[in-house]
Structure formats: structure tokens, C-alpha cells
Amino acid sequence: MNDFSYLHTNCFEITVELSCDKFPHASELPEEWENNRESLLLFMEQVHRGIKGVVRDGDTDEGIPNAIISVDGINHDVRTG
């Protein structure tokens, strides 16, 4: 679903897997958190990188739905909501 969502809806989803154990025992969770806390927090900070804003009509200042945003060097256009 992650690839499909990104390519067809512009929704960027991620899946984080820490080990091969799909259902770790509850007693293992504190150690898993400590082992990965800093990496997860740094990853979450990345949401503030990049370009963001509202595409507005220059005359009316209204938002423009379905405007296509293209960035040179990135082969994936994005539509405004």
C-alpha cells in the first residue's frame, strides 16, 4: 500500500520494522524503545524539511484545488488538495 498511496494519492506512508519478531513480548518493548528512540525522533523531525504551503490565486487569494506541482529533478508531480 505504501507505494500505491504515494504514487496515486500523494499520501506518504511508512512502515517501521525493528526486528524479525512480529509480536515481541511486552517485556522486550522498553529495550526496543531505548535502542531506537533517538533514530525515531530524528526521523520524525524530517517532516519539517522540504517545501510546503498553500497554492493561491493571485487575484482572489483563494486556494487552488488540483493545481499540479512539479519540481525539477523529481519525477513525481503532486496535486493540491
Residues taking part in catalysis: 17
Assign 15 to helix, strand or coil. coil
| Pairing mode of beta strands 68-69, 78-79 | antiparallel
Q: Which residues of 21-58 are buried (b: 16+ CB within 10 A; e: fewer)?
A: eeeeeeeeeeeeeeeeeeeeeeeeeeeeeeeeeeeeee
